[in-house]
Structure 1
Amino acid sequence: MTTHTLTNPKDNGKSSSGHRVSVLVPLPFPGPLDYLSHEALSPGELVAVPLGKREVVGCVWEATTHLPPDFQRPVGKTVPLSRLRTIGHKLEVQPLPPSLRHFIDWVAAYTLTPPGLVLAMAMRVHLGDTPKPALGWVRTQKPEEKIRITPSRRAVLDAASHIPMTTSDLAEASSTSSAVVRGLATAGLLEQVVISASSPFHPPNPDYGTPRLSEEQEEVSKKLTNLVEAHHFDVLLLEGVTGSGKTEVYFEAIAACLRQQKQVLVLLPEIALSTQWTDRFARRFGVEPAIWHSDLGAKRRRETWHAVAKGEAQVVVGARSALFLPFETLGLIIVDEEHESAFKQEEGVMYHGRDMAIVRGRLVNAPVILVSATPSLETLANVESGRYQHELLTSRHGGATMPSVSLVDMKENSPERGFFLSPKLCTAIDETLANGEQAMLFLNRRGYAPLTLCRACGYRAQCPNCSAWLVEHRARGVLTCHHCGHIERIPKECPQCHAENSLVPIGPGIERITEEAKQRFLDAKILVMSSDTLASPSATAEAIRQIADEEVNLIIGTQIVAKGWHFPKLTLVGVVDADLGLGGGDLRAAERTVQLLHQVAGRAGRAAHAGQVYLQSYVGEHPVMKALIANDFQSFMEQEAAQRRPSFWPPYGRLAALIISAATAEAADALAKEIALYAPEREGVQILGPAPAPLAVLRGRHRRRLLLRTMRGIAVQPILRDWLKDIKVKGTTKIEIDIDPISFL
C-alpha cells in the first residue's frame, strides 16, 4: 500500500535515525501519511501527530489484503526520513484491532471515501490517553506515639481502613477537612493507593431468565444456536410475522455466543427502539446491555468505547455507527428490522449499515442474523440465490392472531369538509375506547400541515434554502423546513399580496390530526408520538410507560410507532393516509409503503384481544392495498421482483449516484455536463442524466444528479474511479458518490 508523506523542513525531528511509520489520520487524505518515530510502533496503536500547526490523533496503519482486488491507493512520493515530521507520543489506550482496521479500509474502498473519514467514525470519542486511575488513602501500620493526634486527626484515622477512600470521601466521613487528611499522609499514617475501578457494564448471564418458547420458536432457536456454535461466517434471515417473538428467538443465539466468551453486536434502526428492547434484554440476561448512539454523553461514550475494546462490554446494542466500535472478540452480529432505510447513512460516508454489518461479520468470521417481518427485496434475493439461510416464524406468540385489515374507501366514506378521519374509522375508535382498549392513529407526516397557501393570490410558503415547502408547526407558531432546519414565524399576512388572514393550511400533519381527535373523541386520553415530542430516549421510555400502564388510550404517531413495540391493550390501528409515500417515482416507493404499513398494522392485537386495522385510501386497487388487505407480503414482493428483474434494477442490477452540488445553478450544470461528456460506454452499463435532483436546491446549494446502472455482475467502483479520474472540481463545487442509493432526492 502506497502512503503519502507530510514534511516540514522546520520540524525539530530532523534526525535520519528512526522508523518510517504510516499513520492514518481522521481527515480526507487519500491514504496514510508518513511520519518519523524513534520507537517501534505496531499497527493499530493510536498516536498524536503534528499536522500543520495543530496536533491530531491518528492510527498506525499497514497494508491490508482485505481491499477489493481492483483497488489501488494513489501513488505518493517516498521522502527521506530526515524530512519527515516526528510522531508526538503514543496514547495509552487499546490499539484498534486488525479486524476494525481492515473494515475501515474495506468501507472506504467500497464507498469511494477517503479512509481517514471512515476512521473518524471509529474515533468519534475524545480518546486522549487512558484516564489516570483514581487514588485513595488507606491506614498504614506506622505507630502513633510520636505524632500529635488532634480530635480531627483521630476522626480521620477512625474512618480510614484498608479499603481506599478518596480525599473528599475521607474528609466527609470524618467531618474534617482535606488538609487534615493530607497532614496525616505527610506524617506517614495514611498511604495513597490506586482505587480499583469496576466496569460500568456487568456481564450478562446467558442462563438468567430462560424463556418458555413455543415448539416453532424452539426449533428455529436451535438452528440459530447451531449457526453461532459453528464458528464461521454465514448470513441467516430470521423472518417472522409481527408478534411472533423473533427477539426472544435470537436472544438464544446471543446466549450461545456469551457462553463462548465472545462479544455480540445488535443493530437497531432507531434509538427509540432501545428503550423497550433493553427492558426485554434485562429480563432475559439479568443486566442491561451497553448502548451506543449519538445522544450518549461524552463520558458515557468514552466508557463504552474503552469497555468494548477491553472486552468488558459483552453485548452492545446501537445504531449503525456501532459497527465502528473496536470489538476484540466479536462473535455475532444481529441486524434487527433489517429492511429499514434508517440503516443507510446519506451524508458524509454514505454506507448501508445492514450491508456493512455483513462485511464486518465476514472479516471476523462471525455469523450475521438479519431480522424482519417484512424483509427487503435485496435480502430476499440473496435468500433466493442461496447466499443466505432462511428461517421463518409463521404464527404469533401466545396464541394471538393476526389483525384483520379493512380498506376505507375515502371516495365513498369521506369525512366532513376540513376533517381527515372518516366516519367509519371514527365509529371503530369509539367502540374500541368504550371497550376499555387502546387505539392508534398513524400518519407519517410531522407538523400541522405540509403546505401553507394564500387563498387570495396562490402564494406558497417555500424554504429560502431548499426546493421544499415549509411545514407549519402550529404548536410552536412557526413554519420550518425539514431538510435544512430553516425556521420563521407564521406570518399574519401574505408575504406576496399582503392580504390579512389569507394563509390556510393544506393537507394534514400529525398536529392537525391530534386537533381533530381532541374535538371528535372528547373523553380520549391522547398521547402524541413523533420525533418532535419524543426528543430523547428518556422521553420515549416515559411514553411507553404511559401506554403500558393504560394512562392513555389513543396514541397518535408518525413512523416511530411502526417500530417493534408491544402494547398488549392496543387493538385498533387507523392509517390516516395509506397512500402517502406511493407517489414521486421512487424505485422503492411501493416496497417501503407496504413494509411501513404492514409494520404499523402489526401493532394491533398482539395479546388476548383480536386486532383491527383500517386503511384510509383513495387508491384501493393499488397492489400495496391489496397485499395489506390479504396479508400477503410474499406475493407482493414476488411481483416487485418480477418488475425489477428484466431491467436490472436493484437487487438484480447495481446503482451508483453522482450528486453534483454548487453555489450556483450555472456551476452545477457546467460540472454535470463535463462529467456526462466522459461517461463510460460499455455493454451492461447505462448512464442516466444529468438532471436536476428532485430537491434541486438543498441548504442553499444547487444539485444535479447522474445515475450509473450496471448489470449485477459488473462492479461500479472501478468504473467510477476511471470515469472521474480526470475531472477537476473547482472552488466550492462538490461531487458526492452514493453507492447503492436508497433515496433519490
Structure 2
Amino acid sequence: MNRVRLLVFNPVLNVLDYRVPDGMATPLGALVVAPLGPRQVLGIVWEPDQLEGEAVADSRLRPLLEVLPVPPIPAPLRRLIEWTADYYCAPLNAVARMMLGPMAALRGGGTATEYRLTGVEPARLTPQRAAALDALQGEQASIRELAELASVSDGVLRGMVSAGMLEAVTVDLDRPYPRANPKHAAPDLSDEQAAAADTFVAAVRDGGFQPFLLDGVTGSGKTECYFEAVAEALNTGKQVLVLLPEIALTENFLRRFEARFGVPPVLWHSGLKQSERRRAWRAIVAGQAQVVVGARSALFLPYARLGLIVVDEAHEVSFKQDDGVRYNARDVAVIRARFEGIPVILASATPALESLQLAESGVYRKIDLPSRFGGAELPDIQIVDLRSEAPERGHWLSPRLVRELKLRLERGEQSLLFLNRRGYAPLTLCRHCGYRFQCPNCTAWLVEHRLSRRLACHHCGHEVPVPDACPECHTPDCLVACGPGVERIADEVAEIMPDARVAIVTSDTLNTPEKIGEFVAAAEEKLIDVIVGTQLVTKGYHFPELTLVGVVDADLGLEGGDLRAAERTYQQVAQVAGRAGRGEKPGEVLIQTRHPEATVIAALAAGDRDAFYAAEAEARRDAGAPPFGRWAAIIVSSEDEAEARDAARAIGGTRPNLPDVMILGPAPAPLSLLRGRYRYRLLINARRSAQLQDVIRQWLGGLKFPPGVRVGVDIDPYSFV
C-alpha cells in the first residue's frame, strides 16, 4: 500500500499517517488536504523517519482528499523548520505554519473584487461617511479591509457603494510583478565600497554557504554595497531576501531600491492586505518574485530559487520574536543560508556582540567600512552632565542643548531629539490623594497621550479617556503628568522656539507606510525643523540638513535590569548619533546623562566602540552570559494567579541538578500581570557545553499542567520582563 506521513496543522496533533489513492502523486513537501474526523486538515508530506509517531495499521488509514496546486516545500526549508523547532523548543507544526501564505493562495488562479473611491461626494454626508472619505483617499481593498482602515462598519461602506461613492474593481490575483533591472542605475562606489561589493558579488556568483558581517559606520554606504550582490543574484536568475527589523523602515528602503533597480521590490509584512499577501506568496513559490523585502516572517517563505539573504540592521532586537515561536530571525537567517548553500550578509553599524564574536572566531567573514561615503565626517559627540548643567525647573532640555537647537533653527538646519518613550508622560497621578493610573490587565502604569487625549497601556493596548477628575477622590483638575515622553519634549521645543516646525515620530504617529512616506518627504524638503522621536528614528534615515542630535535621557535604557542593557543603549545612541552630519555640513551630538562615568556613556563620548565591546565581552565572560554561555527562560502564565504560581513551583521543584546548568527562580516576572495573565519566570544559565534544549525537554516533558496554564520556553531571550 502507498502511504504517507503528514505534518498536520492541528493545535493538538502533529503527525498523522494516510493512504494515497491510486493515481495521486505525493512528493515529499507536497501540501495536501486530509480528513480528520468530520473535518478536513491541511498537511505537508514529510520524511517518515524525521517525524516521531506510532505507525498505524494499513487497514485503519484514511485516504488523502487532495494535493494542492502549489510546488512542494523544498528539502532545505523542511530541514530549516526541523532545526528551528529543535533549537527553540517549539512545536514543529507551529514553525511550519510560518511558511504558509493565506489559505486562498494555496488554491491559485482567479480574480477578486476590490473597491476604491470614485470622487463622487454628495452634498450631505453622515459623519461616518465623511470620515471614510478622508481615510480612504488612494486606497483600494476589500470592503472589510477598507472598513478597518476607516474605522467604520461594513454597512457604512456598502451604503457608499450604493450611493456611487465607491466602485468595484476586478483584480487579477496572480498578475506578475514588474521586473527589476540590475543595470538600471549602477552607483559610483568608493574604493572601500567597491572592494566590499566585489567580495559579495563573487560570493553570489560562486554560490555556497558564506556568512558575512558587514560592519560599517553610519553613513558608510552599506546598502549600496549589498545592492551590488542583489544585482548579481538578479543577473543569475536567483531570488533575494532582504530582512528589515521594522515596517517603518520599509518606505525609505523602497525608495532607495526603486532608484537603483527601477521598480519596487516585493513586500512581505503584517501590514499588507490579504490580496497583496496572496499575490506575493504565489509569486515567491513560483520564483517570479525577484527580491522580497520583509519583516522576520519573510524568512520562512518557500522561495523557489533563493540565492542571497541580507539582514539589514542585524543588531536590532526586533528580529527576536517574543511570543509564539520565540526565534531570532538574524540567527535563523544564517541557518537557512547554510541549508540553502548560499551567501548571507549581516549588515550593521553596531553589530551584536554575538556576531562580532563569531567574526573573531572565523565563523563569519568580517567586511569593514570605517569611513562615511562622499567625504562626510562622523559627528562630534559631547556629554552634557545633567548634575552640573541641569534644565530649568519643569523642563527636560539642558541650557546647552537649547542654545544649539536655536542656533540650528537660525541657520535653517534640522535637529533631532531622541527619547525612547512614547506619549506625553509615563505616569499620571492625583496631586490630592496620590492615586496612580494603572492598567487593569498589566503590571504597568497608563501612559498619557495628549495628542489622542487618552491614557494607554503600551503592553496590552488598553485605553481610557483622560478623566476630568480623580477616579479615587473625585477632585477636579488635580491630575499631574510625571516624567517626559516625546510629546512633552515636543511641547517644550514649541515653548522655547515657537516658530520651529516640529514633527513627532513614534509608532503612534507613523503607523502606516503612507504616513512614513509623508514624514520622509517633508523632512527632505526641509518642511521640518525639529524631529522628536523614539527608536523609530535611530536607523535607516538620511537627512543631509540634519546637523544636531540631542539624546534627552541616555540613562533611560540602562534601567530595569535588562542583561543586555549596556549593549542596547550603546547601539541605540550610536545609531541615532549617526543621523547627524550625513551631508556636507558637520554634525554634532549632545548626550544628556546623569552618569557620564558609565562605561557605555564614556565609550560613546570617546567614539571608542572597540573599548566598549571589549569591556562588555569581559563582563559577559565573567557572568557566563552569551556569547560565552547560554541563557534560556521558562515563562509560566495563567489567568488564575494561584494556578500560575503552583505550576511554576511544580517546575522549580523538579529542576535537574547538573554541574553545567544553573537555574534561578521561579519568581514573579517583572511584568507579573500581562494582558490579563499572571506570569512567573525561571532563568537558566548554562555553559556552552550543556545540551540545553535536551535538558529543558526532558525536564518539562513529564509534567502535566491544568488547561489554563501556558508554559513557554525562550531560548536566547532578549526580553526579561
Q: TM-score, normalised by structure 1?
A: 0.86
Task: Please state whether the residue corresponding to 1:402 is helix, strand or coil.
Answer: coil
Counterparts in 2 of 1:97 and 1:243: CA distance versus 1, 3 Å: same
AA aligned opposite 2:668? P
Aligned to 1:49: 34
Aligned to 1:20: 3
Contact 1:672-1:690 within 8 A present in 2 as well: yes
CA distance in 2 between partners of 1:84 and 1:77 (Å): 13
AA aligned opposite 2:3? R
Please tell me whether residue 369 in structure 1 is matched to residue 345 in structure 2.
Answer: yes
CA distance in 1 between partners of 2:103 and 2:25 (Å): 25
* Aligned counterpart for 2:98 among listed residues 114, 121, 133: 121
Give RMSD over aligned pairs.
1.8
The offset of 1:52, in angstroms, is: 4.0
The offset of 1:497, in angstroms, is: 2.6
Contact 1:691-1:704 within 8 A present in 2 as well: yes
The offset of 1:456, in angstroms, is: 2.0
Aligned to 2:656: 680
1:563-642 aligned within 5 A: 563-642=539-618
Please tell me whether residue 733 in structure 1 is matched to residue 709 in structure 2.
Answer: yes
Please tell me whether residue 703 in structure 1 is matched to residue 688 in structure 2.
Answer: no
1:38-77 aligned within 5 A: 38=21, 39-63=24-48, 74=52, 76-77=53-54
CA distance in 1 between partners of 2:581 and 2:94 (Å): 46
Gaps of 5+ in 2: 113-170
AA aligned opposite 1:306? R
CA deviation profile, 1:586-632 (whole Å, cap 9, x unmatched):
11001000100000000000010000111111111111111111111
Contact 1:30-1:115 within 8 A present in 2 as well: no
Please tell me whether residue 34 in structure 1 is matched to residue 13 in structure 2.
Answer: no
Gaps of 5+ in 1: 1-17, 66-72, 136-194
Aligned to 1:157: none
AA aligned opposite 2:673? V
CA distance in 2 between partners of 1:133 and 1:452 (Å): 54
CA distance in 2 between partners of 1:267 and 1:429 (Å): 35
Aligned to 1:92: 69
CA distance in 2 between partners of 1:63 and 1:49 (Å): 17
Please tell me whether residue 646 in structure 1 is matched to residue 622 in structure 2.
Answer: yes
AA aligned opposite 1:90? V
AA aligned opposite 2:91? P
Counterparts in 2 of 1:132 and 1:400: CA distance versus 1, 3 Å: closer
CA deviation profile, 1:392-415 (whole Å, cap 9, x unmatched):
101100010000111112122222
CA deviation profile, 1:253-306 (whole Å, cap 9, x unmatched):
112222221111110100111111121112222221111111011111111111
The offset of 1:129, in angstroms, is: 4.8
Please tell me whether residue 396 in structure 1 is matched to residue 381 in structure 2.
Answer: no
CA distance in 2 between partners of 1:121 and 1:543 (Å): 32
Task: Please state whether the residue corresponding to 1:288 is helix, strand or coil.
Answer: coil
Task: Please state whether the residue corresponding to 1:703 is helix, strand or coil.
Answer: strand
Aligned to 1:201: 177
* Aligned counterpart for 1:517 among listed residues 453, 473, 493: 493
CA distance in 1 between partners of 2:174 and 2:68 (Å): 22
Task: Please state whether the residue corresponding to 2:363 is helix, strand or coil.
Answer: coil
Task: Please state whether the residue corresponding to 1:425 is helix, strand or coil.
Answer: helix
Contact 2:173-2:279 within 8 A present in 1 as well: no
Task: Please state whether the residue corresponding to 1:122 is helix, strand or coil.
Answer: coil
Contact 2:255-2:264 within 8 A present in 1 as well: yes
Task: Please state whether the residue corresponding to 2:252 is helix, strand or coil.
Answer: helix
Contact 1:338-1:371 within 8 A present in 2 as well: yes
CA deviation profile, 1:618-674 (whole Å, cap 9, x unmatched):
111111111111111111011000011123111111111000112222212211111
Aligned to 1:342: 318
Contact 2:632-2:715 within 8 A present in 1 as well: yes
CA distance in 2 between partners of 1:415 and 1:92 (Å): 66
CA deviation profile, 1:158-211 (whole Å, cap 9, x unmatched):
xxxxxxxxxxxxxxxxxxxxxxxxxxxxxxxxxxxxx99985322322222111
AA aligned opposite 2:699? W
Counterparts in 2 of 1:502 and 1:362: CA distance versus 1, 3 Å: same
Please tell me whether residue 108 in structure 1 is matched to residue 85 in structure 2.
Answer: yes
CA distance in 1 between partners of 2:356 and 2:554 (Å): 25
CA distance in 1 between partners of 2:586 and 2:37 (Å): 67
CA distance in 2 between partners of 1:30 and 1:244 (Å): 50
Aligned to 1:149: none
Aligned to 1:333: 309
The offset of 1:63, in angstroms, is: 4.1
Counterparts in 2 of 1:198 and 1:673: CA distance versus 1, 3 Å: closer
Aligned to 2:720: 744
Task: Please state whether the residue corresponding to 1:581 is helix, strand or coil.
Answer: helix
Contact 2:196-2:367 within 8 A present in 1 as well: yes
Contact 1:456-1:502 within 8 A present in 2 as well: yes
CA deviation profile, 1:209-236 (whole Å, cap 9, x unmatched):
1111111111121122222223111211
Contact 1:26-1:118 within 8 A present in 2 as well: no
The offset of 1:542, in angstroms, is: 1.0
CA deviation profile, 1:532-572 (whole Å, cap 9, x unmatched):
11111111011101111111121111111001111111111
Task: Please state whether the residue corresponding to 1:86 is helix, strand or coil.
Answer: coil
Aligned to 1:470: 446
AA aligned opposite 1:20? R
The offset of 1:133, in angstroms, is: 5.4
Contact 2:173-2:278 within 8 A present in 1 as well: no
Aligned to 2:483: 507
AA aligned opposite 2:62? R
The offset of 1:356, in angstroms, is: 0.5
CA deviation profile, 1:391-445 (whole Å, cap 9, x unmatched):
1101100010000111112122222222111221111011101111111111111
Is 490-499 or 501-510 further displaced after alignment?
490-499
Aligned residues: 661
CA distance in 1 between partners of 2:352 and 2:362 (Å): 16
1:226-625 aligned within 5 A: 226-625=202-601
Aligned to 1:8: none
AA aligned opposite 2:98? M
CA deviation profile, 1:134-178 (whole Å, cap 9, x unmatched):
79xxxxxxxxxxxxxxxxxxxxxxxxxxxxxxxxxxxxxxxxxxx
Is 724-733 or 252-261 further displaced after alignment?
252-261
CA distance in 1 between partners of 2:467 and 2:254 (Å): 45
CA distance in 1 between partners of 2:36 and 2:554 (Å): 54
Task: Please state whether the residue corresponding to 1:131 is helix, strand or coil.
Answer: coil
AA aligned opposite 2:93? G
The offset of 1:342, in angstroms, is: 0.1
AA aligned opposite 1:480? A
Contact 1:438-1:553 within 8 A present in 2 as well: yes
Is 34-43 or 513-522 further displaced after alignment?
34-43
Task: Please state whether the residue corresponding to 2:388 is helix, strand or coil.
Answer: coil
CA distance in 1 between partners of 2:317 and 2:228 (Å): 27
Contact 2:101-2:281 within 8 A present in 1 as well: no
